[in-house]
């Protein structure tokens, strides 16, 4: 029997991507998708690409009503909204994959400093940070998964092997990232218009992006010590993808083959992390359309810095794909089930 | 037991797309891929997107050697080269899906007028034009499939219902098409450089594109009479996709709902043709990444013209996807097996 | 002494382009720019590209107040708004370049059929259609210039020589056009988002675009007879530019050199129309950033059709540049004064 | 009387940009342009955007012959070729603006380590590094100008005020840069194809780009001490532009207003450097098409790092525009004469 899934808030790019992936998932039946704006409208009218792939119509049902229809729910909602929905689904005994930031931080004060007042912080203890490569066992046992942010996914996966092995002078870490426009969502705003983005490139929210505490929380856990990083997001004229170029000073000398072997071994069993051959580096074109995170690296002997570059599709490994990966774990399905494997190149 | 497939000439965009699709095909084992330039190089070194998805290395084997390894071969070669390879595979009893133009035209004179001297025209009688929506039964029985050109696929599928039903004044047909750059292949040339294409749009080969006789051959067959059309290809600043806007004068008045119903009914059983709801039209974004051909249409009462718009992914329905669809038919597999269904939007 | 210009409604892409051009115009002083939304905000805060090029701040002044400050006013307003502003400036004795559609049509019924109720149709008699290559003498004598639409500019300039010389069977004319996204303006809407447009291509408003009556009015005038055309606009994933591919059947046989010579001679004295050499066709990349209209053409002997292709930068020759060209004429300045000449390629 | 200029090697993107700018320069007559590949071909046949703007034909003349025709020559040649041409023009008494890397480095050993054997290193003493904001007086007196690299221009201008004022811990400097594709030139290569670049983003030549020693030479001069930096170039899917995000630790605490004021004052008299208002950062869209370098900055109090972002059009301020700026200085013309001022936005 198929698992019944629902998506709460399914009219944005992440919601669409969840519908796209789940409509082809062999062990899942997509039971309901909600949208206040499009209530009563067939999904394929809003997203013509899905014509023939889903016959669902957007519903305006309450969380209680949706909980009746599903085993697992994806919350593809803005932060601040999820925190009011998750408790309903939890109380109804459902499994919850929350794609907002509401349950990612373990520290309430930090959450309220960077985001807003929290209404269901009592669930913090039950939430697991949904990065399977890091918390696979915890995820399997949890019912509330805080699906990671897109930038954090790319940066944490890029640094995990080095931090776990205590290779880096942590105060020197700098993550310079660039994201495609879909990260800004489908709500119309001047800054996301084609004419504003195409041919352009810019940094934004320099030194104050909300993913910073999330990244630091996980990097600190990996290193076992407290430190701050510099994180600068940029807006790329592409639809999908995040590439992070990460700099840090090595604590002691090591060779590139040694470092490369350490990374390859760290991720050996992972289906969705690929280490680029020495001398090659990730390209958004080589991951977009898939759930892969590609990681490449080098050592600059002139400055004793390691340079790690990681790339993901922000809507897949950075959002909907990782959410389905988490659902697979939570529902005891094969971890890669239904997930897009082959990147769409060119 | 899996069917063994080989790709002869697999280093271009179409070859890559065949590898990408076949490496995920549940009933196929990709046995060999050839490339003179990349002989001995792992496929994933040339196309890093395929890292982890294929462990094949490019071979420089002869057609005879490749024939030993496979049940079916895809020829992803330029026209003029296929005609020397196909006979070898045919003689060895293999099934051949030829993606070049060499066996598409039924008339040798026309071929030699638009292309070059032909070396294996004796195979013309065995070749079937591989448009499943048109020649499904013939394809199933054939061993030599001439996979259609990308522009022809979009235009023939767009016009078939109208011509089959004798609705159009055939001398008025104009097909105004636009293609993504991947149609020009992966060989480096100035005209395909990012800086030449991005931000630009232009017509090319106006009145003299080689797909013209192929389009006319099939349209003439559909209409049961001989006529010429105007066909103007344009180069779009996108990687994938062909959109054709087709104009023709109606022979007699009919309403849009009538015409729309006729189209919907004509393609009712087709898995890969979608008719857009009245008042909506195809968009490349809604088909790229899939094997779909979307068709939209309207009638302009002011000019008594019907306007038909069709869209495909040129590398999938316009090349590699249609080739696999043909392979499925030729090998008695389910027609949609292994084919990408969900377009990658956004 | 410099001419004092004002722009009413200067916060959109056309308004910005007017500021950009006029701030470098040697005989013009830009005296005021208005915007309700940005009243009190420096122009360079809204458009950082203009930092250091203008020190103007957006004003919320009334038409009456603006009229006090200027000799000539550009109305860069939506249709329906211009019609209430133009009378104020006319009454104050100012010269008016209206970039909306409000005074382009000579027939009130047609205007109200395609647009809305008109409030100042009494000015129709004073308005001149501002296509200098067609109405230069009339423009010089007028005080109310109806600046042409972007699509009409490209199509009329493409067909004028052929229609003026009675070469075409007018009922066969089809104009298949494609425009960059800036034509949709700077107001945020889903359809203009980067993620909706990039990688896509689609037709829109098929058979019902409001530029149709404007195009037909001018083509009918050129031909001296009444007829309808088919006009299909498409949305291109580029910021700027319109390319029109125009089809028509020749009334009688003529050679391409004859036709080419006729076009070259027709536009011989024009500074802003370039006829492409035989065998070459316009490309948006070769006109964008300039006030040029490039025209290329061929004859398809197989179908007796002429195919004419024209290209402009929709924001320059299709809007702001042509408006300044008109201002130069109206103010007795050299016609090309201040206008961008060299396209920005690549 | 106009200055006579020639361009040696004028068939690439930089050469075209020089023709574009110089054909509109009021005090310059472009006397000759050379290209081996296009000898005898009109410039406008190779670059249709220049139709009507130049009537020049590519010449295959020798340096000696070209020297007879001009007062000043631009060498738009690959490194390794300029070093054989410059001596000829120097000996003939001409002024030379060399756009290659051949005379940028002051140290022969460094040049030969990163590039190749040098044939005219004896000219090193006469060459001035052509960054006007840094060496204006020296440029005016020189006859051999080594026009800076594109990445170096953006990074040096971004760091100059901070280094000159001894604010930074120099060993912590990291420059993370991204360039448009035109930086790779017009020679066809797979990596510059539209299908390889569009939708992608990647780092390249990590830790080993040839601009590194050039950047370090100038930063070391500014700081008055020897140090190495990390410099990572990335390839952006845009035609033009370089954006550099530069990180460094502050030697001692200072406020953002203090730092901003210091930058504003440092560049107060510069026509082509714009400091972005506090809280705003450069965007390629806001500089491309102009000779501006935009600089924005902030201080991250959490990490005591300064983050400086600079943006230029790589073909203008990063190549042809700066070359003309240097020519203006060398020829005693107003520094901004003939230079494109208004960026082409959108």
CA distance C32 to A297: 54
Nearest CA of chain A to the CA of D99: how many Å? 25
| Chain D hits for B47, Cβ within 8 Å | none
List Cα–Cα distances, B257 to B244, C25, C27, in angstroms. Answer: 21, 54, 58
The answer to whether residue D169 neighbours chain C at the CB level (below 8 Å) is: no
- Indicate if the pLDDT at residue B41 is higher than 90: yes
C267, C278 contact by CB (below 8 A): no
Residue B328 scores a pLDDT above 90: yes
Residue B341 confidence class, pLDDT cut points 50, 70, 90: confident
In the set C70, C150, C276, C293, the catalytic residue is C150
The beta strand positions in chain C, using DSSP E, are 3-8, 28-33, 72-75, 95-98, 127-129, 144-146, 168-179, 202-203, 230-235, 242-250, 273-275, 293-300, 305-312
The pLDDT value given to residue A341: 87
Tell me where in chain A the CATH 3.40.50.720 domain(s) lie.
Answer: 3-148+317-330
Q: Where in chain D is the domain with CATH 3.30.360.10?
A: 151-314
Write the pLDDT tens digit of every residue in B245-296: 999 999 999 999 999 999 999 999 999 999 999 999 999 999 999 999 999 9
* Interval C18-30 mean pLDDT: 97
pLDDT at B59: 98
B308 contacts A80 by C-beta, under 8 angstroms: no
Residue B98: in which H helix or E strand, if any?
Answer: strand B95-98
Interface membership of B206 toward C (CB under 8 Å)? yes
pTM over 0.95: yes
pLDDT digit string (tens) for B46-58? 999 999 999 999 9
Q: What percent of chain B has pLDDT over 70?
A: 100
Cα–Cα separations (whole angstroms), residue B210 to A75, B107, B215: 51, 14, 9
| pLDDT band of C341, cuts 50, 70, 90 | confident
Which residues of B are part of the catalytic machinery?
150
- Give the CATH number of domain C151-314: 3.30.360.10
Pairing of strands D3-8, D28-33: parallel
Alpha carbons C131 and C215: distance in angstroms, whole number: 12
- Is the CB of residue A206 less than 8 Å from the CB of residue A235? no
C131: Cβ contacts below 8 Å, ≥ 6 apart:
C148, C153, C156, C157, C218, C322
| End-to-end C-alpha distance for chain A, whole angstroms | 37
Residue A179 and residue A233 in contact, taking contact as beta carbons nearer than 8 Å: yes
Residues 6+ apart with CB under 8 A from C177: C151, C154, C155, C231, C232, C233, C234, C242, C243, C244, C245
Q: What is the pLDDT of residue B150?
A: 98
CB neighbourhood size of A184 (10 A): 18
**Quick check: C342 and D50 CB within 8 A?**
yes
Residues of B in contact with D237 (CB under 8 A): 194, 198
Does the pLDDT at position B1 exceed 90? no
Residue among C217, B341, B46 at smallest CA distance from D190: B46
CA torsion sign for A264, A266, A270, A274 is negative
Contacts of C193 in chain A (CB under 8 A): 181, 186, 188, 192-194
Rounded CA-CA distance B308/B163 in Å is 12
Contact assessment for residue A183 and residue A197, using Cβ atoms and an 8 Å cutoff: no
Residue C6 to residue C73: CA distance in whole angstroms? 5
Residues 304-343 of B with CB under 8 A from A: 341-343
B197 three-class SS: helix
R_g (Cα) of chain A, nearest Å: 20
Of the candidates A200, A300, A309, the beta carbon closest to that of D283 is on A200
Contact C194 A189 (CB under 8 A): no
D344 has a chain A CB within 8 A of its CB: no
Show pLDDT as tens, one digit a residue, over chain A (346 residues).
899 999 999 999 999 999 999 999 999 999 999 999 999 999 999 999 999 999 999 999 999 999 999 999 999 999 999 999 999 999 999 999 999 999 999 999 999 999 999 999 999 999 999 999 999 999 999 999 999 999 999 999 999 999 999 999 999 999 999 999 999 999 999 999 999 999 999 999 999 999 999 999 999 999 999 999 999 999 999 999 999 999 999 999 999 999 999 999 999 999 999 999 999 999 999 999 999 999 999 999 999 999 999 999 999 999 999 999 999 999 999 999 999 889 999 9
Instruction: Please indicate if any CB of chain D lies within 8 Å of the CB of A287.
Output: no
Tokens of residue A40, six digits: 């009563």
Contact by Cβ (8 Å): A16, A10: yes
Which residues in chain C are contacts of B200 at CB distance < 8 A?
238, 283-286
All partners of chain C with 3 or more CB pairs under 8 angstroms: A, B, D
Spatial contact of A193 and D270, defined as CB atoms under 8 Å apart: no
Residue B203's pLDDT band, with cuts at 50, 70 and 90, is very high
Q: What is the DSSP string of A121-157?
A: GGGGGGEEE--HHHHHHHHHH-SEEEPPPHHHHHHHH
Helices (H), B165-255: 194-197, 211-223
Of the candidates D10, D78, D69, the residue with the CA atom closest to the CA atom of residue D42: D10
- Residue D40: left (phi > 0), alpha (psi -120 to 50), or beta? left
A250 touches chain D (CB under 8 A): no
pLDDT for C118 beyond 90: yes
Residue A56's pLDDT is: 98
CA distances for A331 relative to A26, A73, A319, B56, angstroms: 13, 12, 18, 34
Model pLDDT for residues C44-88, shown as the tens digit of each residue: 999 999 999 999 999 999 999 999 999 999 999 999 999 999 999
The pLDDT of residue A227: 98
Q: What is the mean pLDDT of chain D?
A: 97
CA dist C334 and C325 (Å) reads: 9
pLDDT of residue C47: 98
Contact A37, A343 (CB under 8 A): no
Confidence check: pLDDT of C265 > 90:
yes
Please say whether the dihedral angle defined by the alpha carbons of residues B235, B236, B242 and B248, taken in this order, is positive or negative.
negative
| Section C257-261 average pLDDT | 98
Question: Alpha helix (H) ranges present in chain C?
Answer: 13-22, 43-46, 63-69, 82-91, 108-114, 132-141, 150-164, 194-197, 211-223, 256-266, 321-330
Chains that touch D (3 or more CB pairs under 8 A): A, B, C
Q: Which residues of D are catalytic?
A: 150
Q: B287: closest CA among B152, B182, B97, B154?
A: B154
Put simply, whether C169 touches B (Cβ < 8 Å) is no
B187-B191-B194 Cα angle (round to 5): 85
* Rounded CA separation D57/D41 (Å): 5
Q: What is the pLDDT of residues C210-254, one digit of tens each?
A: 999 999 999 999 999 999 999 999 999 999 999 999 999 999 999
In C165-278, alpha helices (H): 194-197, 211-223, 256-266
Measured between CB atoms, does A273 come within 8 Å of chain C?
no
Among D5, D281, D326, residue whose Cα is nearest residue D141 = D326
Mean per-residue pLDDT of chain B: 97
pLDDT in tens, A123-148: 999 999 999 999 999 999 999 999 99
Q: Is A283 on the interface with D (CB under 8 A)?
A: yes
- CATH class held by domain C3-148+317-330: alpha beta
- Supply A31's token pair: 């039971």
* Model pLDDT, residue D340: 81
**Above pLDDT 70, what percent of chain D?**
100
Q: How far is C297 from chain B (nearest CA, A)?
A: 9
Q: pLDDT per residue over B17-40, tens digit each? A: 999 999 999 999 999 999 999 999
């Amino acid at each position: 029997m198929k698992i019944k899934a629902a998506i709460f808030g399914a009219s944005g790019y992440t919601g669409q991507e969840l519908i796209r992936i789940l409509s082809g998932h062999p062990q899942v039946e997509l039971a309901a998708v909600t949208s206040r704006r499009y209530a009563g409208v067939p999904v394929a009218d809003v997203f013509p690409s899905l014509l023939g792939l889903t016959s669902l119509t957007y519903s305006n049902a309450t969380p209680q009503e949706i909980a009746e229809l599903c085993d697992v729910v994806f919350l593809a909602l803005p932060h601040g909204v999820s925190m009011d929905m998750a408790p309903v689904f939890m109380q109804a005994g459902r499994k919850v994959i929350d794609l907002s930031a509401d349950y990612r931080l373990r520290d309430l004060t930090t959450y309220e400093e960077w985001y807003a007042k929290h209404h269901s912080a009592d669930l913090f203890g039950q939430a697991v940070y949904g990065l399977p490569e890091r918390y696979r066992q915890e995820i399997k046992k949890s019912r509330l998964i805080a699906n990671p942010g897109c930038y954090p996914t790319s940066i944490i996966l890029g640094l995990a092997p080095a931090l776990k092995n205590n290779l880096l002078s942590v105060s020197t870490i700098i993550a310079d990232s660039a994201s495609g426009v879909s990260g800004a969502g489908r709500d119309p705003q001047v800054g996301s218009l084609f004419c504003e983005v195409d041919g352009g490139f810019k940094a934004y929210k320099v030194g104050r992006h909300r993913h910073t505490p999330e990244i630091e929380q996980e990097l600190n856990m990996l290193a076992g010590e407290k430190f701050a990083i510099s994180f600068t997001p940029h807006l790329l004229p592409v639809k999908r993808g995040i590439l992070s170029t990460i700099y840090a000073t090595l604590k002691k000398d090591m060779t590139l083959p040694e470092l490369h072997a350490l990374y390859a071994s760290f991720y050996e069993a992972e289906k969705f992390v690929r280490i680029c051959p020495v001398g090659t580096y990730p390209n958004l074109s080589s991951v977009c359309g898939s759930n892969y995170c590609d990681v490449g690296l080098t050592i600059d002997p002139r400055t004793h810095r390691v340079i790690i570059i990681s790339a993901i599709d922000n809507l897949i490994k950075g959002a909907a794909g990782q959410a389905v990966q988490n659902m697979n774990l939570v529902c005891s399905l094969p971890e890669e089930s239904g997930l897009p494997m082959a990147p769409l190149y060119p």
